[in-house]
Amino acid sequence: MSALPDLQIEVESNSERRSHQRVKISLLGRCMFADRQEFPCTVIDVSPGGAAFYSPHQGEVGERIVAYVDHIGRVEGTIVRQIESGFAIAFTASRIKRDKLADTLTWLANRHLLETPEERRQPRRVPRKTDAVLTLSDGTTHSCRIIDMSLTGAALATDLRPPRGAKIMIGKVGGRVVRHFDDGIAIEFMRAMSEGNAETEIPKEFF
């Protein structure tokens, strides 16, 4: 696994970047192996095609695993090699799933530059269902994907770039644009959601 500076991405063309972007990062999770045993793990390097994990259990090459990782959610794949104190996997994922992961990696790579100290203290979650509807101030609606969200805001994967400060709606939830990043925008909700609404499912008001 090649060594990269923390939170940096190899950048080529836009399409190549989305296919090859690799982030060296530390994300906690749990891995379930083929024998159904679960162990804590840490993702140390991830791209849309695979990831490297530190784990107390290395598994066997060719073994299928399922992992639940903070900020990324559920991923599955096959162990392709063992590394010191862990293993590397190749993801088993559809093109849509890989595109969503590419969006998430772009957000994670830029998050330390984009978020305020207050936002960094808010726990962020990846909803199981990420499709949502974005409504601009002129009333036009557009499909988007939720990369992750907290009680106070969300990161959205979209080609749109409303100006900073622009008021928008995600379903019936009001917000305003606070930042742009390569593959989307960050929004701040007009009012903070309750803890129950910010669990792994998107609140129904988002549709």
Question: In the structure encoding, which two tokens stand for residue 168, read together?
Answer: 């928008």
- What share of the chain in percent tops pLDDT 70? 74
Average pLDDT score, the chain = 77
Nearest one of 142, 177, 179, 135 to 159, comparing CA atoms: 142
Write down the CATH number for the domain with range 116-206.
2.40.10.220
State pLDDT tens for residues 101-141.
Answer: 887 787 777 665 555 555 555 566 777 778 889 999 899 99
State pLDDT tens for residues 162-193.
Answer: 998 899 998 888 898 988 877 788 888 887 66
Q: Find where tokens 């290395």 sit.
A: 58
The residues near 20 (Cβ < 8 Å, ≥ 6 apart) are 10, 12, 47, 48, 49
Q: Find where tokens 């984009």 sit.
A: 114
Higher pLDDT, 26 or 40: 40
**CATH classification for the domain delimited by 14-96, as one of 3.30.70.100, 3.30.1460.30, 2.40.10.220, 2.40.50.140:** 2.40.10.220
User: Rounded to an integer, what distance in angstroms lies between the CA atom of residue 153 and that of residue 146?
Assistant: 11
DSSP 31: E
State pLDDT tens for residues 53-106.
Answer: 999 899 999 999 999 887 788 889 999 999 988 999 999 988 888 888 887 787
User: Rounded to an integer, what distance in angstroms lies between the CA atom of residue 118 and that of residue 125?
Assistant: 16
Do domains 14-96 and 116-206 share one topology? The answer is yes
Check: CB of residue 69 under 8 Å from CB of residue 77. no
Name the pTM for this structure: 0.49
Higher pLDDT, 46 or 12: 46
Q: Where are the domains of the chain?
A: 14-96, 116-206
